[in-house]
Structure 1
């Protein structure tokens, strides 16, 4: 039995957290007396680690100001999540749970996570959604360089003992697809997330419905075999 690894992004791929992301970035800008960018621009940096995302959105500010903005973002995000609960704050997209369960049921298909979230945020999300048991490897921005650097995927491959050609990265942003490309992993872009399709040029496959994923994987790995 040859093991395969399916690695998922989180925000914009498994869960829809855009309301909290946008509101919290607005809070970050407000903390230093600045007006936040428009919603689409904020969503355009989803996938990057928070320090890099803030620096990308406010390149004219100095590093200390970026720290203040990032701290305000984290405080806002935590407060909103605590007030609403994870299920309301970051709900799973339709059919995500059933597809993850179906993939997990196959003994030769392993699941992993590679996300720009913090470890604390990721732990809370997978625990409150009862997803932790499904993933053999979970990597986040606290432990690696920001996407699109391939470090998270390289660590996931090492954890699972899987070669790059036996893995896929499923994500909604250009950073996910560029990370996959850099790691030699097949990138599968999703159309329901935060980056427009014209930014997913590095994707090698695209899906419009997560229920199409098992069939696509079967086809890809049959061809590879």
Structure 2
């Protein structure tokens, strides 16, 4: 049995606009100046408190919880109004449909999002029932700690050498390496190819169409097997 674990933000869904808005709300809540967009989004993939902590530094650590709470409150309010409908990246639904039809593949999620955010994504895009293991910031330390990978392996019974983690940041690749599984980077997210490779990516794909070939190379993954 193969286990294919996906990150969410920057991998399955394009959430940069809604994340940036949430970060702005956090900064406004404590009166700190907002960093430029590139710097702000460089922390995507980390759990929320860890993300704000990385951005504001030790000198403003006392603001982190207030910023994170403001971000979460904003998210809840916007979702209640039918906002924050992050689109799927091209090819996402197709690759999930193909993989979920295979009897030898289990799908999972490992994300710095809260479970509430994941459920919202699954609701918006009608993706319920595809993922047998979902790991979030509610129950695990922030990436790159390997706890999410370890939990996914434990829940599914999959073996590390038959498991791949697909993500868009070096945090994902470092988590995969620490968890003893293969890491595959995607080029359309938040970190550049060089950073993904430095983090331990075994391969970096340009489009989800390229994924089967990479899985075959890493796992002996036969596209025709069902």
Q: What is the TM-score of this pair, normalised by structure 2? A: 0.92
Say if 2:117 is the partner of 1:126. Answer: no
SS in 2 for 1:203: coil
Say if 2:184 is the partner of 1:194. Answer: no
- Whole-angstrom distance in 2 between the partners of 1:129 and 1:149: 28
Residues 44-53 or 67-76, more deviating: 67-76
SS in 1 for 2:45: coil
Say if 2:161 is the partner of 1:168. Answer: no
Structure 2: runs of 5+ lacking an equivalent: 222-226
- Whole-angstrom distance in 2 between the partners of 1:144 and 1:130: 25
SS in 2 for 1:192: coil
1:175-217 C-alpha deviation (Å, 9 max, x unpaired): 0000000011110000000112221121011100011112321
Say if 2:34 is the partner of 1:30. Answer: no
CA-atom RMSD in angstroms:
1.6
From 180, 187, 196, give the equivalent of 1:184. Answer: 180
1:99-137 C-alpha deviation (Å, 9 max, x unpaired): 100011110011000000001111121122111211110
The corresponding residue for 2:208 is 210
Shift, 1:77, TM fit: 2.6
Equivalent runs, 1:35-50 vs 2, <5 Å:
35-50=33-48
Equivalent runs, 1:130-169 vs 2, <5 Å:
130-169=126-165
Q: What is the TM-score of this pair, normalised by structure 1? A: 0.93
The corresponding residue for 1:59 is 57
Say if 2:31 is the partner of 1:18. Answer: no
Question: Is contact 1:103–1:214 with CA below 8 Å preserved after alignment?
Answer: no
Shift, 1:61, TM fit: 4.2
Structure 1: runs of 5+ lacking an equivalent: none
Question: Is contact 2:183–2:201 with CA below 8 Å preserved after alignment?
Answer: yes
- Whole-angstrom distance in 1 between the partners of 2:214 and 2:101: 17
